Amino acid sequence: MKNVVVVGGGAIGLLTSLLLARTGITVVLIESSGVGRESSWAGGGIVSPLYPWRYSAAVTALAHWSQDFYPGFAQQLLEDTGVDPEVHVTGLYWLDLDDEAEALAWAAREGRALFSVDIAEAYQQVSVLGGGFKRAIHMPGVANVRNPRLVKALRAALAAMPNVELREHCPVTGFIQEGGQIRGVVTAAGEIRAERVVLAAGAWSGELLKTLGLELPVEPVKGQMILYKCAEDFLPSMVLARGRYAIPRRDGHILIGSTLEYAGFDKTPTDDALASLKASAEELLPALKDAEVVGHWAGLRPGSPEGIPFIGEVPGHPGLWLNCGHFRNGLVLAPASCQLLADLMLGPKPIIDPAPYAPAGRLVGAIA
């Protein structure tokens, strides 16, 4: 294989392009807006599913591989590009969980460091935590990655490669089909041909597959977040309670998220969500009552059944590959997902069993 078109310039598309380009393949990366400006920019960047014990083994396998990969990966990006993705190991406290026993049982089974701690210890470690919480569990090794910096670093790494072309603000409208094969894509600026096409367009992936008469069960799920700016030492750990979380960045920015809304492709931030997120922020961290909200935005997650991504070739359409449908965990799962796709396309033994992610049997059939 000599050339590939990658459709979608989020974290998944960027990293897929980087891994393929490193093998000498010529890559054209096409993004309908600006690279990394959709879900990858809007998310929180916790390098763990929010509740890892609630997911299937398929998601767990990708998450574990990626978590071990991230620190070295981020350091390499910093050395190569001068842009620091800021992988920040803070640990994470979950407070007053209904399924704490299941969480601890999962950790014991998977060999992950997750412990029940006395609530007094949580208050000692996170002195700004709101009152009234009764129980806590703690995962000390969890990091967050500053996702806007990560996509900036990935973009810089690709821009430095002579065998990569980035085409932004170039919407894809369909696929080139010849002799039963997918041979490229159709864009507003004309056809772009390649031996293979990788569809990594997040929440928009299903819309493109409809042009082939296929129905991919990936839909947009809106998430809104707010941002505060505090002292650098204000919040030493991530905390999560009642479905909402607080994430500290190294420079004192505090992210509060997030909503889960099924509103189609509408990305408009709403006053209701702002009020709800502020209430959650002040319940978790009462000192934020006196802090200014310095950002409020919305993004569209690529919702999928059980959050299991689609990774592999589309049956009946040789030459078309999927790497999409990561739901709430695109940044967590990106390294493993992209390496698995590269393995499947190029032939080495896959890093993990690819069967759970295969599109075969998971596409909802032809559209009438």
**Helix, strand, or coil (residue 225):** strand
**Distance separating alpha carbons of residues 13 and 16, to the nearest angstrom:** 5
Strands 92-95 and 238-241: parallel
| d(C-alpha 303, C-alpha 44), whole Å | 16
**Residues 264-312: pLDDT tens digits?**
999 999 999 999 999 999 999 999 999 999 999 999 999 999 999 999 9
| All domains in the chain, ordered by first residue | 3-45+149-218+306-357 (3.50.50.60), 92-140+219-303 (3.30.9.10)
pLDDT for position 318: 96
Q: Where are the extended beta strands (E) located within 249-327?
A: 253-257, 293-303, 310-313, 320-324
pLDDT of residue 348: 87
Q: What 8-state DSSP symbol labels residue 129? A: P
Q: How far apart are CA 43 and CA 311, in angstroms?
A: 21
Instruction: Tally the C-alpha atoms within 13 A of residue 110's C-alpha that lie toward its C-beta.
Output: 23
The string of DSSP codes covering 157-210 is HHHT-TTEEEE-S--EEEEEEETTEEEEEEETTEEEE-SEEEE--GGGHHHHHG
How far apart CA 204 and CA 47 sit, in angstroms, is 24
Taking Cα atoms as reference points, which of 88, 134, 41, 30 lies closest to residue 249?
A: 88
Regions in the chain scoring below 50 on pLDDT: 366-368
Tokens of 156: 């810089």
CA distance 324 to 289: 38
Q: How far apart are the first and last CA of the chain?
A: 34
Instruction: Give every CB contact of residue 25 below 8 A, 6+ residues apart in sequence.
Output: 1, 2, 3, 4, 163
Nearest residue to 276 (alpha-carbon basis) of 303, 296, 253, 247: 296
* 12-31 tens-digit pLDDT: 999 999 999 999 999 999 99
278 torsion bin: left (phi>0), alpha (psi -120 to 50), beta (else) = alpha
Q: What is the pTM of this model?
A: 0.96
Q: What's the pLDDT score for residue 365? A: 63
- Structural tokens at position 249: 């960045």
Angle separating helix axes 330-346 and 11-21, nearest 10 degrees: 30
Question: Is residue 144 classed exposed, middle or buried when 0-12, 13-18 and 19+ CB atoms within 10 A define those classes?
Answer: buried
